[in-house]
Chain A
Amino acid sequence: MSYSKKVIDHYNNPRNMGSLDKGDKEVGTGVVGAPECGDVMKLQLKISGGVIEDARFKTFGCGSAIASSSLATEWVKGKTIDEAFQIKNTEIVNELSLPPVKIHCSVLAEDAIKAAISDYKKKNDIG
Protein backbone atom coordinates (compact mmCIF):
# COMPACT_ATOMS: atom_id res chain seq x y z
CA MET A 1 0.00 0.00 0.00
CA SER A 2 1.32 3.43 -0.78
CA TYR A 3 0.04 6.79 0.32
CA SER A 4 -1.61 9.11 -2.17
CA LYS A 5 0.13 12.36 -3.15
CA LYS A 6 -2.34 14.39 -1.11
CA VAL A 7 -1.72 12.33 2.01
CA ILE A 8 2.02 12.76 1.60
CA ASP A 9 1.57 16.48 1.07
CA HIS A 10 -0.44 16.87 4.28
CA TYR A 11 2.01 14.66 6.10
CA ASN A 12 5.01 16.71 5.02
CA ASN A 13 3.28 20.08 5.31
CA PRO A 14 0.64 19.68 7.96
CA ARG A 15 -1.79 22.63 8.02
CA ASN A 16 -2.72 24.21 11.31
CA MET A 17 -0.71 21.96 13.54
CA GLY A 18 -0.55 23.04 17.16
CA SER A 19 -2.78 23.97 20.05
CA LEU A 20 -5.23 26.65 21.09
CA ASP A 21 -5.88 27.68 24.67
CA LYS A 22 -8.03 24.93 26.13
CA GLY A 23 -9.33 27.28 28.82
CA ASP A 24 -10.66 29.83 26.31
CA LYS A 25 -14.46 29.85 26.24
CA GLU A 26 -14.43 30.28 22.49
CA VAL A 27 -12.30 27.17 22.01
CA GLY A 28 -13.80 23.74 21.68
CA THR A 29 -11.49 20.75 22.13
CA GLY A 30 -12.06 17.22 20.90
CA VAL A 31 -9.74 14.34 21.73
CA VAL A 32 -10.58 11.06 20.06
CA GLY A 33 -8.78 7.80 19.53
CA ALA A 34 -8.98 4.66 17.47
CA PRO A 35 -9.05 1.68 19.81
CA GLU A 36 -7.62 -0.73 17.24
CA CYS A 37 -4.46 1.09 16.27
CA GLY A 38 -4.05 3.43 19.22
CA ASP A 39 -3.94 6.59 17.11
CA VAL A 40 -5.01 9.65 19.06
CA MET A 41 -6.09 12.96 17.63
CA LYS A 42 -6.75 16.35 19.21
CA LEU A 43 -8.71 18.92 17.24
CA GLN A 44 -9.46 22.41 18.51
CA LEU A 45 -11.81 25.00 17.06
CA LYS A 46 -11.98 28.69 17.87
CA ILE A 47 -15.54 29.74 17.32
CA SER A 48 -16.88 33.25 17.24
CA GLY A 49 -20.49 34.17 16.46
CA GLY A 50 -21.23 30.63 15.32
CA VAL A 51 -18.40 30.69 12.78
CA ILE A 52 -15.18 28.71 13.04
CA GLU A 53 -12.40 31.27 12.91
CA ASP A 54 -9.45 29.05 13.56
CA ALA A 55 -8.60 25.40 13.92
CA ARG A 56 -5.63 23.44 15.20
CA PHE A 57 -4.81 19.79 15.39
CA LYS A 58 -2.26 17.47 16.83
CA THR A 59 -2.24 13.79 15.97
CA PHE A 60 -0.15 10.88 17.13
CA GLY A 61 -0.65 8.24 14.52
CA CYS A 62 -0.05 7.14 10.98
CA GLY A 63 0.26 9.34 7.89
CA SER A 64 -3.41 8.92 7.00
CA ALA A 65 -4.54 10.01 10.46
CA ILE A 66 -2.32 13.08 10.30
CA ALA A 67 -3.51 13.93 6.78
CA SER A 68 -7.18 13.43 7.73
CA SER A 69 -6.95 15.78 10.68
CA SER A 70 -4.86 18.31 8.77
CA LEU A 71 -7.45 18.35 5.99
CA ALA A 72 -10.28 18.63 8.53
CA THR A 73 -8.79 21.81 10.00
CA GLU A 74 -8.51 23.31 6.51
CA TRP A 75 -12.10 22.50 5.69
CA VAL A 76 -13.77 23.70 8.87
CA LYS A 77 -12.23 27.17 8.82
CA GLY A 78 -14.81 29.77 7.84
CA LYS A 79 -17.68 27.30 8.15
CA THR A 80 -20.54 27.69 10.61
CA ILE A 81 -20.84 25.13 13.38
CA ASP A 82 -23.74 23.47 11.59
CA GLU A 83 -21.86 23.27 8.31
CA ALA A 84 -18.81 21.76 10.00
CA PHE A 85 -21.02 19.25 11.75
CA GLN A 86 -22.15 18.01 8.33
CA ILE A 87 -18.66 17.05 7.15
CA LYS A 88 -18.65 13.34 6.44
CA ASN A 89 -15.70 11.01 6.68
CA THR A 90 -16.44 9.79 3.14
CA GLU A 91 -15.57 13.25 1.81
CA ILE A 92 -12.19 12.96 3.50
CA VAL A 93 -11.73 9.46 2.08
CA ASN A 94 -12.45 10.75 -1.42
CA GLU A 95 -10.26 13.82 -1.15
CA LEU A 96 -7.26 11.87 0.17
CA SER A 97 -7.92 8.64 -1.78
CA LEU A 98 -7.66 6.62 1.40
CA PRO A 99 -7.57 2.83 0.97
CA PRO A 100 -10.14 0.72 2.85
CA VAL A 101 -7.74 -0.15 5.67
CA LYS A 102 -7.31 3.57 6.42
CA ILE A 103 -10.95 4.59 6.42
CA HIS A 104 -10.97 4.56 10.22
CA CYS A 105 -8.54 7.52 10.12
CA SER A 106 -11.15 9.63 8.35
CA VAL A 107 -13.78 8.49 10.85
CA LEU A 108 -11.46 9.69 13.57
CA ALA A 109 -11.23 13.14 11.97
CA GLU A 110 -15.03 13.39 11.63
CA ASP A 111 -15.45 12.31 15.26
CA ALA A 112 -12.86 14.87 16.34
CA ILE A 113 -14.75 17.74 14.66
CA LYS A 114 -17.99 16.64 16.32
CA ALA A 115 -16.30 16.21 19.69
CA ALA A 116 -14.76 19.70 19.48
CA ILE A 117 -18.11 21.25 18.57
CA SER A 118 -19.91 19.52 21.42
CA ASP A 119 -17.19 20.64 23.81
CA TYR A 120 -17.69 24.21 22.64
CA LYS A 121 -21.46 23.93 23.00
CA LYS A 122 -21.14 22.46 26.46
CA LYS A 123 -18.79 25.24 27.53
CA ASN A 124 -21.21 27.88 26.30
CA ASP A 125 -24.47 26.20 27.34
CA ILE A 126 -25.71 25.85 23.78
CA GLY A 127 -28.15 22.97 23.41
Chain B
Amino acid sequence: METVSKKNGSERGPFFEKIPAERPCWSCQSEKVDLYNCVSCKTIQEFLSDTDYFASLNQGYTLNINLDQLEKQYYELSRRFHPDFFQQRPKAEQEISLENTALLNKAYQTLKDPLKRAAYLIQLVEGENQMKTQAPASLFEDIFEVQEAVEEMQALDPSDQVGRRKREDTLKSALEKMQRYQKDEQDKLLALFTKWDQLEVGRKSQAFSAAQKNCLMEMKQILSHTGYLERVIQDIKTALKS
Protein backbone atom coordinates (compact mmCIF):
# COMPACT_ATOMS: atom_id res chain seq x y z
CA MET B 1 0.00 0.00 0.00
CA GLU B 2 1.64 3.21 -1.14
CA THR B 3 0.82 6.58 0.33
CA VAL B 4 1.74 9.91 -1.10
CA SER B 5 1.51 13.22 0.64
CA LYS B 6 1.55 16.80 -0.46
CA LYS B 7 2.86 18.15 2.79
CA ASN B 8 5.47 16.98 5.17
CA GLY B 9 5.73 17.80 8.82
CA SER B 10 4.63 21.37 8.36
CA GLU B 11 1.59 20.91 10.58
CA ARG B 12 2.46 20.65 14.22
CA GLY B 13 0.44 18.63 16.68
CA PRO B 14 -0.16 19.70 20.25
CA PHE B 15 3.05 18.06 21.34
CA PHE B 16 5.38 20.49 19.62
CA GLU B 17 4.13 23.65 21.21
CA LYS B 18 5.54 22.87 24.60
CA ILE B 19 9.02 21.69 23.71
CA PRO B 20 11.15 24.82 24.16
CA ALA B 21 9.57 25.83 27.45
CA GLU B 22 9.52 22.43 29.01
CA ARG B 23 13.17 21.73 29.71
CA PRO B 24 16.46 23.56 29.65
CA CYS B 25 19.55 21.83 28.25
CA TRP B 26 20.61 19.20 30.77
CA SER B 27 24.27 20.01 30.12
CA CYS B 28 24.58 23.82 29.90
CA GLN B 29 21.13 24.84 31.24
CA SER B 30 20.47 26.99 28.20
CA GLU B 31 16.78 27.52 27.47
CA LYS B 32 17.39 27.34 23.74
CA VAL B 33 16.73 23.69 23.14
CA ASP B 34 14.99 21.98 20.30
CA LEU B 35 13.65 18.44 20.32
CA TYR B 36 17.01 16.88 19.53
CA ASN B 37 19.83 19.26 20.50
CA CYS B 38 20.78 22.21 22.59
CA VAL B 39 21.02 25.17 20.29
CA SER B 40 23.79 26.75 22.36
CA CYS B 41 26.17 23.90 23.26
CA LYS B 42 24.93 21.38 20.62
CA THR B 43 24.66 18.55 23.14
CA ILE B 44 22.03 15.92 22.30
CA GLN B 45 18.85 16.02 24.35
CA GLU B 46 16.78 13.19 25.69
CA PHE B 47 13.30 12.93 24.19
CA LEU B 48 10.58 14.10 26.53
CA SER B 49 8.76 11.26 28.22
CA ASP B 50 5.65 11.83 26.10
CA THR B 51 7.44 12.21 22.79
CA ASP B 52 5.30 10.14 20.46
CA TYR B 53 6.41 8.41 17.28
CA PHE B 54 5.13 11.17 15.04
CA ALA B 55 6.93 13.85 17.03
CA SER B 56 10.18 11.91 17.31
CA LEU B 57 10.47 11.79 13.53
CA ASN B 58 9.38 15.38 13.14
CA GLN B 59 6.10 14.42 11.48
CA GLY B 60 2.80 16.20 11.87
CA TYR B 61 -0.21 14.08 12.81
CA THR B 62 -1.20 13.33 9.25
CA LEU B 63 -1.73 9.84 7.94
CA ASN B 64 -0.67 10.19 4.34
CA ILE B 65 3.06 10.24 4.76
CA ASN B 66 5.69 10.68 2.12
CA LEU B 67 7.69 7.51 2.69
CA ASP B 68 10.86 8.79 1.03
CA GLN B 69 10.95 11.81 3.27
CA LEU B 70 10.17 9.71 6.31
CA GLU B 71 13.06 7.42 5.50
CA LYS B 72 15.39 10.36 4.93
CA GLN B 73 14.39 11.90 8.24
CA TYR B 74 14.89 8.58 10.00
CA TYR B 75 18.38 8.06 8.56
CA GLU B 76 19.39 11.61 9.38
CA LEU B 77 18.29 11.31 12.99
CA SER B 78 19.75 7.82 13.32
CA ARG B 79 23.10 9.19 12.28
CA ARG B 80 22.80 12.05 14.71
CA PHE B 81 22.08 9.76 17.67
CA HIS B 82 23.98 6.66 16.66
CA PRO B 83 25.59 5.05 19.77
CA ASP B 84 28.83 4.45 17.85
CA PHE B 85 29.46 8.17 17.74
CA PHE B 86 29.12 8.53 21.51
CA GLN B 87 31.53 5.90 22.73
CA GLN B 88 34.08 8.50 23.74
CA ARG B 89 31.49 10.83 25.25
CA PRO B 90 30.21 11.11 28.85
CA LYS B 91 27.96 8.36 30.12
CA ALA B 92 24.91 10.62 30.17
CA GLU B 93 25.25 11.27 26.45
CA GLN B 94 25.76 7.60 25.71
CA GLU B 95 22.50 6.80 27.46
CA ILE B 96 20.59 9.48 25.62
CA SER B 97 21.98 8.22 22.35
CA LEU B 98 20.83 4.68 23.12
CA GLU B 99 17.38 5.61 24.30
CA ASN B 100 16.68 8.03 21.50
CA THR B 101 17.86 5.53 18.92
CA ALA B 102 15.58 2.87 20.37
CA LEU B 103 12.58 5.20 20.16
CA LEU B 104 13.43 6.29 16.61
CA ASN B 105 13.66 2.66 15.49
CA LYS B 106 10.25 1.83 16.92
CA ALA B 107 8.80 5.02 15.50
CA TYR B 108 10.08 4.32 12.01
CA GLN B 109 8.95 0.69 12.00
CA THR B 110 5.48 1.82 13.05
CA LEU B 111 5.03 4.85 10.85
CA LYS B 112 6.29 3.33 7.61
CA ASP B 113 3.44 0.79 7.65
CA PRO B 114 0.06 2.43 6.93
CA LEU B 115 -1.92 -0.05 9.06
CA LYS B 116 0.44 0.21 12.02
CA ARG B 117 0.53 3.98 11.58
CA ALA B 118 -3.25 4.27 11.81
CA ALA B 119 -3.46 1.85 14.73
CA TYR B 120 -0.80 3.86 16.52
CA LEU B 121 -2.60 7.16 16.01
CA ILE B 122 -5.83 5.67 17.34
CA GLN B 123 -4.01 4.38 20.38
CA LEU B 124 -2.35 7.76 20.87
CA VAL B 125 -5.60 9.70 20.76
CA GLU B 126 -7.73 7.20 22.66
CA GLY B 127 -5.08 6.17 25.14
CA GLU B 128 -5.79 2.49 24.65
CA ASN B 129 -3.01 -0.01 24.70
CA GLN B 130 -4.22 -2.69 22.43
CA MET B 131 -6.46 -2.84 19.44
CA LYS B 132 -9.14 -5.50 19.77
CA THR B 133 -9.96 -7.57 16.73
CA GLN B 134 -13.52 -8.39 15.74
CA ALA B 135 -14.91 -10.88 13.27
CA PRO B 136 -16.94 -9.06 10.59
CA ALA B 137 -20.57 -10.17 10.90
CA SER B 138 -21.06 -10.45 7.15
CA LEU B 139 -18.44 -13.21 7.01
CA PHE B 140 -19.50 -15.45 9.91
CA GLU B 141 -20.71 -18.15 7.56
CA ASP B 142 -17.49 -18.15 5.59
CA ILE B 143 -15.41 -18.20 8.76
CA PHE B 144 -17.41 -21.22 9.91
CA GLU B 145 -16.90 -23.01 6.60
CA VAL B 146 -13.18 -22.34 6.74
CA GLN B 147 -12.83 -23.74 10.23
CA GLU B 148 -14.89 -26.77 9.29
CA ALA B 149 -12.82 -27.43 6.17
CA VAL B 150 -9.54 -27.02 8.06
CA GLU B 151 -10.71 -29.45 10.71
CA GLU B 152 -11.94 -31.98 8.16
CA MET B 153 -8.71 -31.73 6.20
CA GLN B 154 -6.68 -32.64 9.26
CA ALA B 155 -8.85 -35.70 9.86
CA LEU B 156 -8.71 -36.93 6.27
CA ASP B 157 -7.02 -40.12 5.22
CA PRO B 158 -3.83 -39.04 3.39
CA SER B 159 -4.82 -41.15 0.37
CA ASP B 160 -8.18 -39.41 -0.01
CA GLN B 161 -7.24 -37.03 -2.83
CA VAL B 162 -10.85 -36.30 -3.79
CA GLY B 163 -11.75 -35.37 -0.24
CA ARG B 164 -8.74 -33.13 0.04
CA ARG B 165 -9.46 -31.33 -3.21
CA LYS B 166 -13.02 -30.66 -2.11
CA ARG B 167 -11.81 -28.94 1.08
CA GLU B 168 -9.11 -27.10 -0.81
CA ASP B 169 -11.72 -25.67 -3.17
CA THR B 170 -13.78 -24.47 -0.20
CA LEU B 171 -10.71 -22.87 1.34
CA LYS B 172 -9.56 -21.28 -1.89
CA SER B 173 -12.88 -19.65 -2.63
CA ALA B 174 -13.13 -18.43 0.97
CA LEU B 175 -9.60 -17.07 0.69
CA GLU B 176 -10.49 -15.16 -2.46
CA LYS B 177 -13.60 -13.71 -0.89
CA MET B 178 -11.73 -12.65 2.23
CA GLN B 179 -8.88 -11.11 0.29
CA ARG B 180 -11.41 -9.10 -1.72
CA TYR B 181 -12.98 -7.98 1.52
CA GLN B 182 -9.57 -6.93 2.86
CA LYS B 183 -8.85 -4.96 -0.29
CA ASP B 184 -12.18 -3.12 -0.07
CA GLU B 185 -11.64 -2.31 3.58
CA GLN B 186 -8.14 -1.03 2.90
CA ASP B 187 -9.50 1.27 0.20
CA LYS B 188 -12.02 2.58 2.72
CA LEU B 189 -9.20 3.08 5.19
CA LEU B 190 -7.16 5.11 2.71
CA ALA B 191 -10.16 7.31 2.01
CA LEU B 192 -10.40 7.90 5.75
CA PHE B 193 -6.69 8.82 5.82
CA THR B 194 -7.41 11.62 3.39
CA LYS B 195 -10.45 12.73 5.35
CA TRP B 196 -8.44 12.76 8.58
CA ASP B 197 -5.63 14.76 6.97
CA GLN B 198 -8.05 17.42 5.73
CA LEU B 199 -9.47 17.76 9.22
CA GLU B 200 -6.00 17.77 10.77
CA VAL B 201 -4.67 20.47 8.45
CA GLY B 202 -7.69 22.62 9.29
CA ARG B 203 -7.47 22.01 13.04
CA LYS B 204 -7.53 25.29 14.95
CA SER B 205 -7.68 24.20 18.57
CA GLN B 206 -5.18 22.31 20.70
CA ALA B 207 -7.32 19.22 20.94
CA PHE B 208 -8.39 16.95 18.11
CA SER B 209 -11.93 17.73 16.98
CA ALA B 210 -15.00 15.54 17.41
CA ALA B 211 -15.06 14.99 13.67
CA GLN B 212 -11.49 13.74 13.84
CA LYS B 213 -12.36 11.36 16.64
CA ASN B 214 -15.28 10.00 14.64
CA CYS B 215 -12.96 9.48 11.74
CA LEU B 216 -10.62 7.52 13.99
CA MET B 217 -13.53 5.39 15.24
CA GLU B 218 -14.33 4.42 11.67
CA MET B 219 -10.72 3.47 11.09
CA LYS B 220 -10.68 1.47 14.30
CA GLN B 221 -13.68 -0.56 13.16
CA ILE B 222 -12.00 -1.38 9.87
CA LEU B 223 -8.70 -2.28 11.50
CA SER B 224 -10.37 -4.57 14.00
CA HIS B 225 -12.11 -6.46 11.16
CA THR B 226 -9.09 -6.67 8.88
CA GLY B 227 -6.92 -7.69 11.82
CA TYR B 228 -9.25 -10.55 12.62
CA LEU B 229 -9.51 -11.69 9.01
CA GLU B 230 -5.76 -11.56 8.58
CA ARG B 231 -5.51 -14.36 11.12
CA VAL B 232 -8.15 -16.41 9.30
CA ILE B 233 -6.33 -15.82 6.01
CA GLN B 234 -3.08 -17.06 7.57
CA ASP B 235 -4.92 -20.15 8.86
CA ILE B 236 -6.19 -20.88 5.36
CA LYS B 237 -2.74 -20.46 3.82
CA THR B 238 -1.20 -22.74 6.44
CA ALA B 239 -3.88 -25.37 5.84
CA LEU B 240 -3.41 -25.25 2.06
CA LYS B 241 0.35 -25.71 2.46
CA SER B 242 0.12 -28.60 4.91
Residues of A within 8 A of B (CB): 31-36, 38, 40-42, 58, 60
Contacts and interface: CB of A to CB of B under 8 A. Distances in A.
B137 A35 contact: yes
B134 interface: yes
B147 A40 contact: yes
B216 interface: no
Question: What are the 3 A-B residue pairs with the smallest beta carbon separation, nearest first?
Answer: A33-B140, A35-B134, A40-B144
A36 B140 CA distance: 12
Given A38-B228, A40-B147, A60-B147, A31 B134 contact: no
Nearest to B148: A58
Main secondary structure of the interface of B (DSSP, over half): helix
A62 B134 CA distance: 16
Which of the listed residues A34, A35, A36 has the most CB atoms from chain B within 10 Å of its own CB?
Answer: A35
A33 B137 contact: yes
B116 to A, nearest CB: 22
A58 to B, nearest CB: 7
B19 interface: no
A32 B140 contact: yes
Bin the interface of chain B by size.
10 to 19
A33 B148 contact: no
B132 A31 contact: no
Contacts of A41: 144
A17 B134 CA distance: 26
A31 B137 contact: no
A111 to B, nearest CB: 10
A15 B132 CA distance: 33
A20 to B, nearest CB: 14
Main secondary structure of the interface of A (DSSP, over half): strand
Given A36-B132, A38-B228, A60 B144 contact: yes
Contacts of B144: 31, 33, 40-42, 58, 60
Nearest to A29: B141
Contact of B135 (A33, A42, A58): A33
A81 to B, nearest CB: 22
A35 B147 contact: no
B143 interface: yes
A27 B135 CA distance: 26
Nearest to B134: A35
Given A35-B137, A36-B134, A60-B144, 11 more contacts: A33-B135, A33-B140, A33-B143, A35-B136, A38-B133, A40-B135, A40-B140, A42-B144, A58-B144, A60-B147, A60-B148
A112 to B, nearest CB: 11
7 contacts: A31-B141, A31-B144, A33-B140, A35-B135, A35-B137, A38-B228, A40-B147
A31 B135 CA distance: 13
Contacts of A58: 144, 148
Nearest to A61: B147
Nearest to B231: A38
Interface in B131-157: 132-137, 140-141, 143-144, 147-148, 151
A40 B143 contact: yes
Nearest to A40: B144
A32 B137 CA distance: 8
Contacts of B134: 35-36
